[in-house]
Amino acid sequence: MPDRNEILNELKNRYKDEIVSFYDKSPRRVYIEIKSESIVNIASYIFKELKARFNVASAVDARSHIEILYHFTLEYLDLLISLRVKLDRENPTIKSLTSVFKGSNWIEREMYELMGINFEGHPNLKRLLLSDKWPEGVYPLRCDYKEWDNNAIRDRGV
């Protein structure tokens, strides 16, 4: 089994044009910022060649941009690799990873409904959790979310 340095160096060399920055936070945690076009390549390499487990993906609205963190665990190294992708806030679009691993299907649907991120090539990009009455184009976890429901009661009545 290759060790931690070998794996990370191989990753750095193989994708040196696609990696924007590399942050070795701790022995158990690495953040790699990559270009959003190359997510399918790098994620399939980590998932298929390095035999990582896809944990989850998380989206963050950072005001200047929207970023997605794809978390992969390499259990034989006790290492968590987070791939960071920065997306344009006006039109956040990225390729879907569902063709690589099915586990990303629902989390992409959730990010689509809560953050408004568009996943190209997703087989079934529709809402996952929100109510059917929720209006189109309103994303509750964005920073600029405003209350749209006039019937909502926001005081405790005391």
Work out how close the CB of 137 gets to other proteins at its nearest, in angstroms, rounded to a whole number: 14
Give the range of 57-65, 87-95, 117-125, 141-149 binding other proteins by CB under 8 A: 141-149
Q: Does 91 bind other proteins (CB under 8 A)?
A: no
Count of residues near other proteins by CB under 8 A: 14
Site for other proteins in 107-136 (CB under 8 A): 130-131, 133-134
Max CA distance (Å), the chain = 64
Using CA atoms of 56, 74, 7, 27 in order, give the dihedral in degrees to the nearest 10. 90
Neighbour-count burial of 40, counting CB atoms closer than 10 A to its CB (0-12 exposed, 13-18 middle, 19+ buried): middle
Q: Which is nearer to other proteins, 60 or 130 (CB)?
A: 130
Q: Which is nearer to other proteins, 121 or 140 (CB)?
A: 140
Would you state the structure tokens that stand for residue 9, as one six-digit string? Answer: 């160096």
Neighbour-count burial of 156, counting CB atoms closer than 10 A to its CB (0-12 exposed, 13-18 middle, 19+ buried): exposed
Work out how close the CB of 152 gets to other proteins at its nearest, in angstroms, rounded to a whole number: 4
Q: Which is nearer to other proteins, 26 or 131 (CB)?
A: 131
Q: Measuring CA to CA, which residue among 37, 32, 15, 40 is closest to residue 96?
A: 40
**Residues of this chain that bind other proteins (CB under 8 A):** 130-131, 133-134, 140, 145, 147, 149, 151-154, 156-157
